[in-house]
Amino acid sequence: MPLTHRLPHTLTDHRTVTTDLPLSVKFWGTRASYPFFLPTHQRLGGDTSCVQLSCGPSQVFIDAGTGLMHAEPSTGHDVVVLSHFHLDHVLGLPYFLGKKKQGALTLASATCSDEAELRFKINSVYGGAGFPVSLSLISPHMNWVAIEPSGLKIDGWHIQTSPLNHPGGGSGYRISHENAQASVVYLSDHEHGTEKDEALARFAHGAGLVIWDSSYDDRNFAPFKGWGHSTWQEGLRFYEHSQARALALTHHDPSRDDAAAAEIELQLTTPVTFLAHDRLVLPQVLNDLNP
Ligand SMILES: [Zn+2]
C-alpha cells in the first residue's frame, strides 16, 4: 500500500503527496578502463562507467565515463557524482555539459577535501595538455560540491558516502530519494580484501540494489592485485554478506568478451544477481529491507 503524507496546509491545500515513487536505474556505461567496441563485445557494450538514477523528474548520474555522452540532460537540476577522477570515469563530462542548455548542474564528489581540490583534480584532466577546454568554460554556472563524510542532501536526493580501496582514493555511495523507499549502493572502483570490506557491508546493508566492481574473475585476479578492482565472485559474496536485495555486476574488464559474459551468466542463478550492460534499464529498484 502506498505510503502517503500530507504537507503543511500552507504549502498544499490538503494535497496528498505520494512517497513511494519508483527509483529507476539506467546503466549508460559498464566497461572498465577505456571505451571498447568490437563485434566480440556486443553483449555488455563498450562505454565506460555511468549510471543514472531517476525518481520522478529528478535524476542523478553516478560517474561520468563515456556512457554519460549518450544521456540527455533534464531541463531541471542534474547532479553528477564522481567516485574518483580516473579517465574512464570522467571522459563523458564535457559532452554532457555541452548539451545542458537549461536548468542547474552540480558536479559533486567525496574524493576531495574541499571544492578547491575538486576543481584541481578536474582541471588536471580538462583545460590542460590533454584536453584544451576547461569545464568552467563549457559550463560556467556549474556548482562544484565536495561531499562531506556526513553526506549530501540535494534536490530530494540523499547521498551517503564510504571510502573505497582504490589507488588514489575513491568513494562509494548509497543514494536514495525522499520520495522512494529504495536505495542504490554504488561500489566501483574497489578492490576487496581490506578492512574496508566490512565497513562497506554495513554501509550497504539491506539496500535495494548494490552495484559492484566486477572487473575480474577469481581465476585470473592474482596478477591484478593492487590495481584497485574486484571480481564478480566477490560481488556475490558481498551481496550475501550485506543482505542487499539485488546485485548488478559492472565495470567489466575489456577482456570480458561475449563468451566470457555468457559463461558468467550461466553461473548467476537468480534473477536478482546479474551482469549489468550498457543501456540496461531497471524500472524499479526493490525497496530496502527495513527502510
Ligand atoms: Zn574505472
Say how far apart CA 136 and CA 126 lie, in whole Å. Answer: 9
pLDDT digits (tens, 9 = 90+) for 91-103: 999 999 999 999 9
Distance 30 CA to ligand 1 centre (A): 9
Distance 103 CA to ligand 1 centre (A): 29
Residue 159, pLDDT > 50, answer yes
Distance 167 CA to ligand 1 centre (A): 11
Distance 97 CA to ligand 1 centre (A): 20
pLDDT digits (tens, 9 = 90+) for 140-149: 999 999 999 9
Distance 116 CA to ligand 1 centre (A): 23
Range of the domain at 268: 21-282
> The pTM is what?
0.92
Domain for residue 13, yes or no? Answer: no
Say how far apart CA 240 and CA 257 lie, in whole Å. Answer: 26
Domain count of the fold of the chain: 1
What pLDDT is recorded for position 198? 97
What pLDDT is recorded for position 291? 65
The CATH number of residue 160's host domain is 3.60.15.10
Domain for residue 196, yes or no? Answer: yes
**Residue 29 pLDDT grade (very low, low, confident, very high; cuts 50, 70, 90):** very high
What residue has cell string 540496461? 280
Distance 171 CA to ligand 1 centre (A): 12
Domain for residue 82, yes or no? Answer: yes
Mean pLDDT (whole number) for 247-275: 97
118: helix, strand or coil? helix
More confident call, 159 vs 17: 159
* Alpha-carbon torsion angle 27, 30, 34, 37, nearest 10: -90
Distance 209 CA to ligand 1 centre (A): 19
Say how far apart CA 133 and CA 10 lie, in whole Å. Answer: 47
Say how far apart CA 263 and CA 242 lie, in whole Å. Answer: 25
Distance 31 CA to ligand 1 centre (A): 8
**Phi–psi pair at 198, nearest 5 degrees:** -70, -40
